[in-house]
Structure 1
Amino acid sequence: MPRTKQTPEWGSRIFVWIVVALNSASWVVGTAAADDRAERPNIVLLYIDDLGWTDAGFQGSQFYETPQIDQLASQGMVFTSAYSNGPNCAPSRASLMTGLYTPRHKIFTVGDPARGNHRHRKLEPVPNETVLAEDFITIAERLREGGYATAAMGKWQLGKAPTTQGFDVNVAGREWGSPSGGGYHSPYKYPNLEQQDPGEYLTDRLTTEACTFVEAHRSEPFFLYLAHYAVHTPLQAKDDKVERYRNKAPSKRHRNAVYAAMIESVDESVGRVLQTLDRFALADNTIVIYYSDNGGYGGATSNAPLRGAKGMLYEGGIRVPLTVRWPGHVAAGSRCDEPVIGIDLYPTLLEVAGLSVEGQGPDGVSLVPLLEQTEDSLEREAIYWHFPCYLQGRGDPSGGPFRTTPAGAIRMGNWKLIEWFETGRLELYDLENDLGERTNLADREPERREQLHAKMKQWRAEVQAPIPTTPNPRYRPE
């Protein structure tokens, strides 16, 4: 079909109209995109492995140096009663990803639930899953469905690859619970992360990969899950940092130079990520969460004034640092004493991203009302732990061959009850007046003891929490 000839004037008018229309459309699309961008903040979750409750300056350490983490804490809200969902790595990570208590996904511990000398175990522990089943809908899957680019950097531990659970990008994540091969120093070989030249430090490299992801996805909402292997064993750090801490006077609680140097590298990592957000003008539209998967390892640090360490249901094993920065929503320098736990991050991040909770409802409660200070309480009766397993190794002055035998715990208000499944022993603590859990009030407060115990048993029935009852035929009390 022949084209209709246009005069120059008419053709010019059409051209102008087209340009105006395109510019208008671009403005509308750009404005919509900008509005959508503002409604869906970026999410950066900095998950540190085995970092104790007091292992940072903002939590009181006078030996470990954490200026970047301290600054982050000063710019947001510090949760003084934050908890992990388990006393060690795998259960905490599974609960974080799913928003579910451990009996629902049945990852109760790391690997074998019968760790330690069989002669000392009175009971056969319940079976333990080591891989997060793919029918669980992770927070990464929900965010990706909502239009987020998703990346997992570092420790995964819940299966062979986080890419089967909602992450677009996986760097260095496998089923491993600690650094493989040569540890923290190259040469090493991880998925999408190899370095044969000696000397590179894993914490630094993971940070570089994380910053590269932020830069590549700065024009779209993203979820960065930077799960450092640090400060998990083996204790390995940069020589120059170690030397500096060896020449520094130790504090009453902290004195391990290698561990301190590892924490300093984590601190530098946090600083580099925050600087990358600043460089691309993303900080005001990014929620940054700094958190640990369980209490500090007793062979590396002290959790005092808390009792116990990693692997235990005393406060030293499950109370962890948590701080959240969210400009425009969280007041700088704010603090919250409300007890919160890892499963709460699932509904929190869904609400932050403007996504509904549907299908597999999480057990946690959104922290947004606390963060925005519209509420000072979650109106939740209690939080729970269930650990029907054995962990060898001493982690408490009371001694014994285990860090823990099978046990469960509940915190209701300022009160905490621990039940030991081998013996039925109950321990009741008033955390407001006895943070170190030194005085067992179970006999002095029978009504409160029974109230918490009944509530814990009711919860166990609701989540179908298995309790070990089968005697161990190889048990030989000494």
Structure 2
Amino acid sequence: MIIQFRFFIVSSIFYLMSQSTFAAPNFILVLTDDHGWSSFSAPMDKTRPEAKSDYYQTPNMDALLNMGMRFSNGYAAAPVCSPTRYSIQFGKTPARLQRTRVIGKNRADHNQIAIPQVLKAIDPSYRAAHIGKWHIDADPERYGYDLHDGNTKNKEAGFDNGDRSRQWDGYAEDDPKRVHSITARAIEFMRDSVDKDQPFFLQLSHYAVHSNIVYSESSYANVGKREKGKLHNNQAYAAMIEDLDNSIGTLLAAYEALGLADNTYIIFTADNGGMPVLPMQLNRGRPYKAGLNSPLLRGKWDLTEGGIRVPFAMVGPGIAANSQTNTPVVSYDLLPTIADLAGSKKNLPK
């Protein structure tokens, strides 16, 4: 099982940068929601060309993969969102944190040390922001975030589990899943940090591509011009992915314009695997024979490859472009890796 592996991600890249020294580095952690391993137009594993979408086009996320190292065996700590978010933030397994489910009584121990606190113990000049979906039952400010959106969950982006048709049929909005507004605020924080000459940690936690399916009219029209795939063929869902991809392009453009490339690490991953199927596809026969995360089995909610194997990539100083490692890594590796890259492992959670 994957939990037998406990590697720092940095073990795959640290040799490449061991001959260089940097000022306090910046970190941009981009977390997507319910995002399947094979939901890109480029494969997460370059040795498996079939492990990509036959319909979705994701040029900006593909470009991000090519800027650095992709982790073909990157795993979420859980097959559902909240436990993984706890695990990322506190650098521990969901079991240790007593948060293994999304619903039901939350027995989690919130007396934890989070990424911003670890960084500020290394260098007090660090600024920290969390923008987007939080889904941890404690105030982000408690953990050292200077800027945050509060205790946000799915409803802030329109999730309505009581209206099944609206949830899955899809509808248009000007700011679908808040992709534009949260990206704009993230860029503003980056720019402000550069102006103040302070290192920063930014976690941009997208609400996309969790239901409800929401998209822009322009993306819906653009996707409609393509031939649908055999595996992926839902136009509304494809449009939502295109909106997410466009926002990643906006973020990368700002990263370049602000001159961050020489001293900034970008980490890209998801909280869990994608939906195994969309409800409107259940009448197509055996839904798990060729689910939406194919060639992986099943998806969100299940402790299977489709449920926990997720997009995972890292860009930054000393990391070779268009590289790949097959070393297994998990969400809870992020905190110690960030601490190591920032210069110290003395303040890691016990």
- What is the Cα deviation at residue 242 of structure 1? 1.5
- What is the Cα deviation at residue 132 of structure 1? 5.5
Question: What is the identity, as a one-letter code, of the residue corresponding to 1:317?
Answer: G
- What is the Cα deviation at residue 183 of structure 1? 5.2
Per-residue Cα deviation, 1:399-437 (whole angstroms, up to 9, x for no partner): xxxxxxxxxxxxxxxxxxxxxxxxxxxxxxxxxxxxxxx
Question: What is the identity, as a one-letter code, of the residue corresponding to 1:143?
Answer: L
Q: Structure 1 CA distance, aligned partners of 2:158 and 2:80? A: 23
For 1:237, the equivalent position in structure 2 comes to 215
SS in 2 for 1:217: helix
Correspondence 1:332 to 2:321: yes
- The answer (yes or no) to whether the contact 2:35–2:274 under 8 Å persists in 1 is yes
Q: Structure 1 CA distance, aligned partners of 2:308 and 2:324? A: 19
Question: What is the identity, as a one-letter code, of the residue corresponding to 1:351?
Answer: D
**Equivalent residue for 1:318, pick from 298, 301, 308:** 308
Q: Structure 1 CA distance, aligned partners of 2:33 and 2:316? A: 23
- The answer (yes or no) to whether the contact 1:347–1:357 under 8 Å persists in 2 is no
Alignment of 1:461-472 (within 5 A): none
Correspondence 1:308 to 2:298: yes
Unmatched runs of 5 consecutive residues or more in structure 2: 1-20, 44-51, 161-172, 279-290
Alignment of 1:83-98 (within 5 A): 83-98=75-90
| TM-score, normalised with respect to structure 2 | 0.79
For 1:247, the equivalent position in structure 2 comes to 225
SS in 1 for 2:145: coil
SS in 1 for 2:29: strand
- The answer (yes or no) to whether the contact 1:160–1:175 under 8 Å persists in 2 is no
**Equivalent residue for 2:263, pick from 256, 272, 285:** 285
Correspondence 1:75 to 2:58: no
Question: What is the identity, as a one-letter code, of the residue corresponding to 2:62?
Answer: D
- What is the Cα deviation at residue 175 of structure 1? 4.5
Correspondence 1:137 to 2:131: no
Change in Cα spacing, 1:224 to 1:305, as seen in structure 2 (3 Å) is same
Q: Structure 2 CA distance, aligned partners of 1:216 and 1:352? A: 22
Q: Structure 2 CA distance, aligned partners of 1:306 and 1:181? A: 28
- The answer (yes or no) to whether the contact 1:108–1:128 under 8 Å persists in 2 is no
Unmatched runs of 5 consecutive residues or more in structure 1: 1-36, 113-126, 185-197, 362-478
For 1:100, the equivalent position in structure 2 comes to 92
Correspondence 1:50 to 2:44: no
Question: What is the identity, as a one-letter code, of the residue corresponding to 2:55?
Answer: F
Change in Cα spacing, 1:340 to 1:203, as seen in structure 2 (3 Å) is same
- What is the Cα deviation at residue 347 of structure 1? 0.8
| TM-score, normalised with respect to structure 1 | 0.59
Structure with max Cα Rg: 1
- The answer (yes or no) to whether the contact 1:83–1:320 under 8 Å persists in 2 is yes
- The answer (yes or no) to whether the contact 2:68–2:321 under 8 Å persists in 1 is yes
Question: What is the identity, as a one-letter code, of the residue corresponding to 1:261?
Answer: A
Q: Structure 1 CA distance, aligned partners of 2:249 and 2:231? A: 25
- What is the Cα deviation at residue 351 of structure 1? 0.6
Question: What is the identity, as a one-letter code, of the residue corresponding to 1:153?
Answer: I
**Equivalent residue for 1:228, pick from 192, 206, 219:** 206
For 1:396, the equivalent position in structure 2 comes to none
- What is the Cα deviation at residue 128 of structure 1? 4.2
Alignment of 1:351-430 (within 5 A): 351-358=340-347, 360-361=349-350
Question: What is the identity, as a one-letter code, of the residue corresponding to 2:191?
Answer: E
Q: Relative contact order, CA 8 A, sep 6+: which one is greater?
A: 2
Question: What is the identity, as a one-letter code, of the residue corresponding to 1:358?
Answer: N
Alignment of 1:85-234 (within 5 A): 85-112=77-104, 128-129=106-107, 133=110, 135-145=111-121, 146-147=123-124, 148-171=126-149, 173-176=150-153, 178-180=154-156, 182=158, 199-201=174-176, 202-218=178-194, 219-234=197-212
Q: Structure 2 CA distance, aligned partners of 1:62 and 1:290? A: 22
- What is the Cα deviation at residue 246 of structure 1? 3.0
Q: Structure 1 CA distance, aligned partners of 2:331 and 2:157? A: 30
Per-residue Cα deviation, 1:203-229 (whole angstroms, up to 9, x for no partner): 100000000000000121100100001
Per-residue Cα deviation, 1:316-355 (whole angstroms, up to 9, x for no partner): 000001111113x111111111111111111100011112
Change in Cα spacing, 1:139 to 1:72, as seen in structure 2 (3 Å) is same
- What is the Cα deviation at residue 309 of structure 1? 0.8
What is the percent sequence identity of the aligned residues?
34
Change in Cα spacing, 1:44 to 1:181, as seen in structure 2 (3 Å) is closer
Q: Structure 2 CA distance, aligned partners of 1:359 and 1:251? A: 46
Question: What is the identity, as a one-letter code, of the residue corresponding to 1:49?
Answer: D
- The answer (yes or no) to whether the contact 1:161–1:170 under 8 Å persists in 2 is no
Paired residues, what number? 293
Change in Cα spacing, 1:278 to 1:296, as seen in structure 2 (3 Å) is same
